[in-house]
Structure 1
Amino acid sequence: MLRNETANEPSLELLGDFGLVCSGHRVHMPIGVQRLLAFLALQSGGIHRGAVAQQMWPDYPCPRAAANLRSALCQGRRASYVPLVDCIGQRLRLSPLVRVDLHTVGVDARKIVDGLDPPSDTEALIDDLTRELLPGWTEEWLELDRERWNQLRVYALEGVAQRMLAAGRYLPALQAAIAAIAIDPIRETAHRIVIEVHLAEGNVASAVRCYQHYCDFLLQELRVNPSPQMTSLLQGLLST
């Protein structure tokens, strides 16, 4: 969900269920228009309308795909009094007046990855980073952007968790690390942070249990052991 949004500024929600909000009201959009707006939101600088038709309707002949695109554009104009798509010659782009939650949250996520301070509302950011990009949509043109989003949010969640741990804010650190694990359960970094949080709180048994669960998971899935960096966190405890 977009934060600090202007009341009259249209906002497009791609994280979680699709949504379009104009003047504070949710606008119903036909599925073809939803797909078009989502597709254009993922393009930087616009894209030729022929490429839009081919990528969105790859199984249709070019004339039929072009007709589908014209229909979606027409439906979009009827469904909203706010112009949502700019047509510049043969190029289409999402109107710059439309705010997109993926872009807004992505800016905050990249700041964290770049070592800058996270937003003050850490809980809201963690919640935003747990949201998938249009879950349930199976369009091929979504796959690469979905993978990019997953990688960015894992790194950002780990960055938030590390910062919260260093600041002694153990609950948000744990929440961020667990959210990162849910996205990529094999990746070790977030598991290490969870163990470090438990140790910092004096919860030795919880730390050992998390370590053992991760060891069992790795052996079952990949037949490998955790890194020496992770093992060293509990080396003295495991040898007793």
Structure 2
Amino acid sequence: MTEAEGGRRAGTGGAQLVLLGRFELLAGCGDVTLPKGAQRLLAYLAIHHGDAVSRQAAAEQLWPECRRQRATANVRQALWHLRRATERPVVEPSVDRLRLSPALTVDFCRAVEAAHLVVGSAAPAAEDLVGALSRDLLPYWADDWLAPQRRRWEQVRLHALEAIAQHLISTGAHLAALEAAFTAISIDPVRETAHRTVIAAHLAQGNHGSALRHYQQYRALLHRELGVTPSAHMTRLVASQAAL
């Protein structure tokens, strides 16, 4: 659907909003095309996990370079496009507050909730969660308001990936554990707890040489990038299995 085809709306039965790796609104038979302003407003509301947000706050965050009157008009225009995009509204507007429709599922929100459950040991570590945790939050958007949300998402997924990997080590699923740990390393290459998890997986398999080699590679990385050495805890972990 193009903007000019506003009369042709997509249904919202099982509507989904994708924010991890890309932006995509799926409703009815497929992808719903939205102008950039409507995409930004929808993403902004989704990242607030369904909480009501004031129109003025949304306007100031999404269009900080505009005067107040222009930014408020941009919000109204974005809402107009969202109303015309689907048969059922994806945003519940009121006089001064905006809220995402509870009928719309958001991959980012579901991944955050699942990650917190995994870290809190309230749910079994699901290997299929690793794929969602590997994806960045709207990676091709340069909006300033996304920066703190990206930092938060990074910490959530790092902790969840490590928890998943540790659970998988305990169940003997060493390859899956390594994949989860290396996913964490790809997010933060110098994070010691992720590297320790890789070493723990190798040691659990009896691959002492692989554990030692990974330790040496990590030690070289830290020295090259930060001029520091691994913690004593990590060194003892490897030293207990092999002579360094």
CA distance, structure 2, for counterparts of residue 134 and residue 24 of structure 1? 23
Residue of structure 2 equivalent to 1:103: 109
Q: Residue 3 of structure 1 corresponds to which residue in structure 2?
A: none
Show structure 1 runs of 5+ residues with no match. 1-6
Aligned to 1:123, what secondary structure does the other structure show? coil
Please report the TM-score for the alignment, with normalisation by the length of structure 1.
0.91
1:168 aligns with 2:172: yes
8 Å CA contact 1:8, 1:24 repeated in 2: no
Partner Cα distance (1:227, 1:63) in 2: 54
Separation in 1, partners of 2:108, 2:27: 17
Task: Indicate the SS of the match to 2:221.
Answer: helix
What corresponds to 1:72 in structure 2? 78
1:33 maps to a residue whose letter is A
Residues 175-209 of structure 1 show CA distances to partners (whole Å, capped at 9, x for unaligned) of 11001111111111110111111122222222111
Q: How far did 1:78 drift?
A: 1.7
1:11 is the counterpart of 2:16: yes
Q: 1:118 aligns with which of 118, 124, 134?
A: 124
Unaligned runs of 5+ in 2: 1-11
What is the CA distance between 1:114 and its match in structure 2? Answer: 0.7
TM-score (normalizing by structure 2): 0.90
Q: Which SS does the other structure have where 2:127 is aligned? A: helix
Offset of 1:25 from its aligned partner?
A: 1.6
Secondary structure at the aligned position of 1:12 is classed as strand
- Shift of the alpha carbon at 1:14? 0.8
Relative distance call for 1:219 and 1:157 in structure 2 (3 A) is same
Query: Could you tell me which residue of structure 2 aligns to residue 42 of structure 1?
Result: 47
User: Which secondary structure state, in structure 2, belongs to the residue aligned with residue 92 of structure 1?
Assistant: strand
Runs of 4+ in 1 over 6 A off after TM superposition: none
Which of the residues 15, 20, 25 maps onto 2:25?
20
Residue 67 of structure 1: CA displacement?
1.6
Which residue is 2:223 aligned to?
219
- Tell me the matched-pair count: 232
Identity of aligned residues (%): 45
Q: Which residue of 1 aligns with 2:135?
A: 131
8 Å CA contact 2:15, 2:103 repeated in 1: yes
Q: Answer yes or no: is 1:59 the counterpart of 2:54.
A: no
C-alpha RMSD of matched pairs (Å): 1.6
